[in-house]
Structure 1
Amino acid sequence: MRRLGITLAAVALAGAGIAGTVGTAQADSAASTVCETGWGSLEKLVTPAEDHKPPLTDIKTGQYECFDRMVIDFEGGKTAGALGYRVKYVDKLISAGTGEEIPVSGGAILQIAVGPNFDPATGTNSYPGKHAQPLPGVDLTGYKTFKDTRYVDALEDDAVIGLGVRARLPFRVTQSGNQLIIDVAHSWNATS
């Protein structure tokens, strides 16, 4: 009888150990998602491939496991060359036309200068942004990194977007056809 009690106790302890190991393994695998963050936080600048820059038409955002993303759409189909942009962290978002400081919430401000907000053929606005206001249709509720947006009226041929982020974090800028994609990492760490 004593042997049966010892055997049952050993089986119970072994089962508890296995359950604990499985729970720990699941937690470890969920916490160890590797996120690329080697993008740096210095200015990214590309000169447009052509004299004509296509006009800005839409701005969308999305949340991903390792970063928050902003996608800026430009008129037209596929572009053969670079769209042209200047993306950098700034201390304050300033309207180049008036010198006005535009408040942007967050721990840091990413200033994004892109193509024009008008159709050169007609002179009409191509994007419904209003000066010093949040981007229309962009809701950042629940985002890990993005905190606020502001639109600045185009001066000459650049529209400017202020993107408030949680802190000065690594970011990358890529182009896909007539879209400019800006990803801002959730952290400087290699895992999320």
Structure 2
Amino acid sequence: MTNIRTGRHTCFDRMVLDLNGNPAGYSVKYVSELTGIGSGKEVSTTGGARLEILLKAGASPSYNPGATVKTLNYQTFRQQVWLGSFEGQTKVGMSTRARLPMRVFVPSGPDQGSRLVIDVAHYWY
């Protein structure tokens, strides 16, 4: 994983994890608490729900997430949480306004890379 980006769209908020290749696997699910990947230590967040993204790919040594918790205040996304990279896996969290519908997909490119894309709806439709 080389970068994390977020954005606001008309009907959903989007998180994109940029990858150097294809991930060996991933899991995206709502959880009761967000915990560090190596420590298991809980990270407190605001918002009504917590989304855990576990990527079976390590983070690039050059990737610097900055603060552990980054406040976004989007329509749905509240806070982006860096939970760490350990033994070839990377864990990221997102606090959301509520447990809203989501979709996850992995498009190819650019070049030999790919992206893990997570869209979370603004409302139940």
Q: Could you say which TM-score interval applies, normalised by the shorter chain? A: 0.7 to 0.9
The answer for the alignment partner of 2:119 in structure 1 is 183
The answer for the alignment partner of 2:72 in structure 1 is 140
Which one has the largest radius of gyration?
1
- Aligned partners of 1:184 and 1:103: how far apart in 2? 20
The answer for the alignment partner of 1:167 in structure 2 is 98
- Aligned partners of 1:108 and 1:185: how far apart in 2? 13
Higher strand share: 2
The answer on whether the counterparts of 2:2 and 2:63 sit within 8 Å (CA) in structure 1 is yes
The two structures, once aligned, show a CA RMSD in angstroms of 1.8
Runs of 4 or more above 6 Å deviation:
none
The answer for the alignment partner of 2:7 in structure 1 is 62
Q: For structure 1, which runs of at least 5 residues remain unmatched after alignment? A: 1-55, 119-124
Post-superposition offset of 1:104: 1.9
SS in 2 for 1:176: coil
Amino acid in structure 2 at the alignment position of 1:64: H
- Aligned partners of 1:88 and 1:107: how far apart in 2? 14
Higher helix share: 1
**Relative contact order: is structure 1 or structure 2 higher (C-alpha 8 Å, sep ≥ 6)?**
2
Post-superposition offset of 1:69: 0.6
> Any residues of structure 2 matched to 1:29-178 within 5 Å, and which?
56-75=1-20, 79=22, 83-114=24-55, 115-118=57-60, 125-129=61-65, 133-134=68-69, 140-141=72-73, 143-177=74-108, 178=114
Amino acid in structure 1 at the alignment position of 2:30: Y
- Aligned partners of 2:97 and 2:105: how far apart in 1? 21
Once the two structures are superposed, residues 79-128 of structure 1 have per-residue CA deviations (whole angstroms, 9 ceiling, x without a partner) of: 5xx6521101010111242221111221100000112113xxxxxx1421
- Aligned partners of 2:43 and 2:115: how far apart in 1? 26
The answer for the alignment partner of 2:111 in structure 1 is none
Once the two structures are superposed, residues 127-182 of structure 1 have per-residue CA deviations (whole angstroms, 9 ceiling, x without a partner) of: 2125x7135xxx624x1100001101212111111101000011000111111110
Q: How many residues align?
A: 119
TM-score (norm. length: structure 1)? 0.57
Q: For structure 2, which runs of at least 5 residues remain unmatched after alignment? A: 109-113
- Aligned partners of 2:80 and 2:89: how far apart in 1? 17
- Aligned partners of 1:134 and 1:67: how far apart in 2? 21
